[in-house]
Structure 1
Amino acid sequence: MSEPTSSDARITPAEFHRAEGVSDWRVTATGPQAVFAAASLTHAASLVASIVEASRHFDVDPDIDVRPEAIVVRVPDRDFGGIPLAAPAFAAAVSRAAGERGLRAQPARVQSIGIYVAQHSEVDARPFFQAALGYDPLQDTDAVDPLRCGPQLAFNPIAGDVPRRGRTHLDVFVPADQAQARVAAALAAGGRMVDDSQAPAWWSLASPDNHGVDIASWTDTAD
């Protein structure tokens, strides 16, 4: 068996965070991500050329979201295989370029959203959601927007539940250093704690009318 090349070797979130120059970045369910505040669309877009240059140099394919308020840069985990070995060097290069342009990192704004579709054990809802949303299958149980703009869907059975009754909740992946503040804000806004037995990996909350939201930080610390 051949040894993995630098382009297909992977690292964990903890290994990513131990690298130099990545303090602007956090790891969510979709991979490393940074948000840099901008004064205008032109200001935000000024970073794109440097991102492309770093992408070519380190052989990392990022997703870039340019808005007047900020530019969001992600290193997507397209196959659940882990973070590319070159991601820290790429991230550090992007952060240096952002600093040179006066784009300020805002780690507290980093997040990714997933929708957890809980279905009866005798039902397979994934084909319906794929067709309705134009999503592609991801591994055996998930579905994903092919352009990674929409939230990832996860489909999991509930054994013994009532047929024809779906239960769905949101998974909100946030930086580990922001998770407790996000939980506190949700509780202050009228939510209630359903289960904190897995904290600080994740907290299960419910809205006043019992819609479920899991706030998760484990993706930012996994080793």
Structure 2
Amino acid sequence: MTILGTRQILDADLRDWRKLARALHARFLTGNFSTGLALVAAIGELAEEMDHHPDVVLTYPHVDVKLLSHDASGITERDVRLARAISELASAHGIAADPAAPAVVELALDTADPTAIGPFWAALLTGDSGAVDGDDVVDPSGRVPLLWFQHTDAHETPRQRFHIDLWVPHDAADARIAAAVAAGGTVVDATRAPSFTVLADAEGNRACICTTLDR
């Protein structure tokens, strides 16, 4: 299977869906639990018919759906087809989507030697010291955010420098940045926007607003 790039996904015009980090995400505004449960059941039947199974989270006011071809480690045409089918299903039930709502949080930790500390963080976060994929600590069950190691220079004095990466829809990034600035933050570095923009709070703690554009 061929992994689709960001431009191919944008050209597919999936009105309800946005690519965040590695997967397609959508939020459907069901408004109550029983409507959400019915939508989840319908998505389940559709997934069985298409032999492709999304991650689905049911809450009282909405249903979140995530699509990724795990065997290809990316988004493929199979995900695009299922995304369209789920959107058509939701529309038939009179359920609207909120494309600006999905978000994914990742943690980044500076280190000069990911192989030395990776097993520790994998064991701490997931209970499995082998849950390391390259520079990432990955929890297959999705209980904790992905942790990735940002390569830095070697240093003798122990230090700890985390920052948060927040993935948002590409067409919602400007509004999120503006909201953070209005709440007392500052833009530290926008030279790599719209790929990512570095912001800081009033004490200098940093975070990145990330999108899939220009990657």
TM norm. shorter chain > 0.5? yes
Deviation at 1:77, TM superposition (A): 5.6
Equivalent position of 2:171 in the other structure: 177
Task: Give the length in aligned residue pairs.
Answer: 213
Give, as a single letter, the amino acid of the residue that structure 1 aligns with 2:54: P
Change (3 A) 1:80 1:111: farther
Equivalent position of 2:41 in the other structure: 49
Deviation at 1:164, TM superposition (A): 1.2
Distance across 2 between alignment mates of 1:183 and 1:137: 33
Change (3 A) 1:121 1:139: closer
Matched, 1:111 2:103: yes
Asked if 2 retains the 8 angstrom alpha-carbon contact of 1:17 and 1:23, the reply is no
Structure 1 window deviating more from structure 2 (40-49 vs 9-18): it is 9-18
Structure 1 length as normaliser, TM-score?
0.86
CA RMSD, Structure 1 to Structure 2 (Å) = 2.2
Aligned-residue identity in percent = 30
Deviations 1:56-107 (A, max 9, x none): 2333221001000210000136477321221111001101111122221001
Distance across 2 between alignment mates of 1:62 and 1:138: 23
Equivalent position of 1:151 in the other structure: 145
Structure 2 length as normaliser, TM-score?
0.89
Asked if 1 retains the 8 angstrom alpha-carbon contact of 2:29 and 2:96, the reply is yes
Matches within 5 A, 1:1-223: 8-19=1-12, 22-76=14-68, 78=70, 81-121=73-113, 124-134=116-126, 137-217=131-211, 219=212, 221=213
- Secondary structure of the corresponding residue to residue 116 of structure 2: coil
Deviation at 1:209, TM superposition (A): 1.7
Distance across 1 between alignment mates of 2:114 and 2:58: 42
Change (3 A) 1:138 1:99: farther
Give, as a single letter, the amino acid of the residue that structure 2 aligns with 1:194: V
Asked if 2 retains the 8 angstrom alpha-carbon contact of 1:171 and 1:215, the reply is yes
Give, as a single letter, the amino acid of the residue that structure 1 aligns with 2:98: Q
Distance across 1 between alignment mates of 2:6 and 2:151: 28
